[in-house]
DNA sequence: TTATTATTTTAGACAAATCTAAAAATTTTA
DNA sequence: TAAAATTTTTAGATTTGTCTAAAATAATAA
């Protein structure tokens, strides 16, 4: 069994792996709000436990065992987020902190029953996919809004940034999950995007567009 | 804010206070499955934080602040137990361990919303009362089954022992919450009790009778 | 390709929570 | 009330996760 702290490290390494592999010590330190020296210590420990492959000065990758462990934590995190929003009426920008704690509760019976109670949701309130108990994700066809060209249409199905500031901003703009959008123009100067959302013309920065996930159909 | 460990100590001291006040070091050690020396260390720390009053060699009592903190943890524990039984179909002997973890989740919004979602339950699955957010308990008139005399009648409304072994034993005997019982005889030799439960005559030990709570009406 | 800069690791220290063994205080027994 | 038994505390060590400061390695620039 892993400690609360080890689990947080594994999850962070898992998420960072999607950006760069192997994952660098400093990247982990920044995410986990700690010092590089502490990360090195923990990496050695996880390596001992065969949860990561570690080469000095090169960085870490998750082993199969480490990856499964990480995905299981992600599963729990996202299921709890669904519970908070669907059953307890939390807003999508209020759930992250609490789920960060709930994801560490150790009971597979609990999580399977929760999954059932929520009627086996496929995505969390931010549109992120929820893996099944074997660690498999249902394939979802996403594309970043920042990758679309003028006249392309689609539906907002997720976000890749979960800060309250970002989510509140989206809400204010009316850019919530399920909304149909069409790209009207991509401004050359700063990469910002003009959109049509329900007959309204809206402008968003490239930074914002990069974190909105669109499914085209 | 208190650590996970400090919270567990406060809760144990709270429960033991109902039996003997002040609470002895050894009693805490036994409950928390640790050594007396560790308890002394923790007591000093809680005393520093003004959560307990501590006199060397005499034992501890909770301060008002400590008591409120403890009751709040009890509140969370019992609400989560209701959730597990009512919503996730756990059996009453399966919930304790999980609630022992869930009670430490730090979010007052979460717990108030959970209370609402569960429709403000007054008792947990073991018949224990759930305090409100100010730490007040609704008065419940309980008496231990071991205190009843022959021909007295009542309804099983709680238990004061939560081990799986005990709860399974009760279940096997058909002694579950809500059942009407009548005391037929109290055996002088060993204090064991003969009961009538739904036209069935049942014998239970004094030890078992002490942990069954009856409301008379 | 050497020097500079950035990244990572080591060394040594610290706080939290625990332990064992021994000393001190209290309670019980005789 | 003095001796014995029990309970509690202290002293010192250990484990986990963290830190700062300094050394080692790798990447980048001149
Ligand atoms: Mn977490
Ligand atoms: Mn999410
Ligand atoms: Mn607990
Ligand atoms: Mn209970």
DSSP letter string over B183-209? EEEE-TTT--EEEEETTEEEEE-HHHH
**pLDDT mean over A24-40:** 96
Please name the member of B89, B97, B106 whose beta carbon is closest to the beta carbon of A101: B106
Q: Give the residue from A142, A162, A173 showing the smallest Cα distance to A81.
A: A162
State percent of chain A over pLDDT 70.
100
In this predicted structure, the answer to whether residue A77 has a pLDDT above a threshold of 80 is: yes
Higher pLDDT, B116 or A123: B116
Q: Give the A:B interface size as CB pairs under 8 Å.
A: 39
Average pLDDT over residues A34-49: 96
Low-confidence ranges of chain B (pLDDT < 50): none
Which residue intervals of A134-216 are DSSP H helices? 164-173, 206-209
Region(s) of chain A under CATH 1.10.10.10: 4-62
Chain A environment of B89 (Cβ under 8 Å):
113
Q: What is the pLDDT of residue B9?
A: 97
Q: What is the pLDDT of residue B3?
A: 95
Among A61-65, A180-184, A203-207, top mean pLDDT goes to: A61-65
A108 in B contact zone (CB under 8 Å)? no
**CATH code linked to domain A143-215:** 2.30.30.90
Question: CA A51, CA A60: separation in Å to the nearest integer?
Answer: 10
Tokens of A111: 């999580």
Cα→Cα distances A94→A82, B2, B93, B211, Å: 12, 23, 33, 42
Domain B4-62 classified CATH 1.10.10.10? yes
Q: List beta partners, residue B215.
A: B155
CATH 2.30.30.90 positions along chain B are: 143-215
pLDDT, residue A181, reads: 94
B114 to A88: CB separation less than 8 angstroms, yes or no: yes
Which ligand has the minimum distance to the alpha carbon of residue A123? 2
Tell me the three state secondary structure of residue B119: coil
Q: What is the pLDDT of residue B98?
A: 97
- Residues A141-197 pLDDT 10s: 788 898 788 888 999 998 988 888 899 999 998 999 999 999 998 876 777 899 999
* Chain B (81-100) residues lying within 8 Å, Cβ to Cβ, of chain A: 84, 87-90, 94, 97-98
DSSP class of A137: P
Q: Which residue is nearest to nucleotide D17 (CA to C1')?
A: A38
- Separation CA B103–CA B17 (nearest Å): 20
């Amino acid at each position: 069994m892993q400690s609360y702290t080890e689990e947080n490290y594994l999850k962070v390494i898992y998420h960072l792996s999607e950006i760069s592999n192997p994952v660098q010590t400093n990247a982990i330190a920044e995410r986990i709000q700690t010092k590089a020296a502490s990360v090195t210590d923990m990496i050695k420990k996880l390596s001992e436990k065969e949860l990561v492959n570690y080469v000095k000065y090169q960085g870490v990758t998750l082993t199969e065992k480490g990856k499964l462990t990480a995905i299981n934590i992600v599963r729990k995190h996202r299921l709890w987020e669904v519970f908070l929003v669907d059953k307890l009426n939390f807003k999508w920008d209020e759930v992250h902190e609490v789920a960060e704690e709930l994801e560490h509760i150790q009971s597979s019976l609990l999580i399977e029953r929760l999954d059932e109670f929520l009627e086996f949701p496929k995505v969390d309130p931010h549109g992120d996919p929820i893996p099944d108990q074997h660690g498999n994700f249902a394939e979802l066809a996403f594309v970043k809004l920042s990758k679309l060209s003028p006249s392309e249409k689609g539906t907002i199905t997720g976000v890749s940034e979960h800060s309250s500031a970002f989510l509140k901003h989206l809400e204010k703009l009316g850019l919530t999950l399920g909304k149909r959008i069409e790209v009207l123009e991509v401004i050359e100067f700063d990469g910002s995007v003009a959109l049509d959302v329900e007959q309204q013309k809206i402008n968003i920065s490239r930074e914002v567009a990069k974190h909105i996930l669109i499914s085209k159909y």
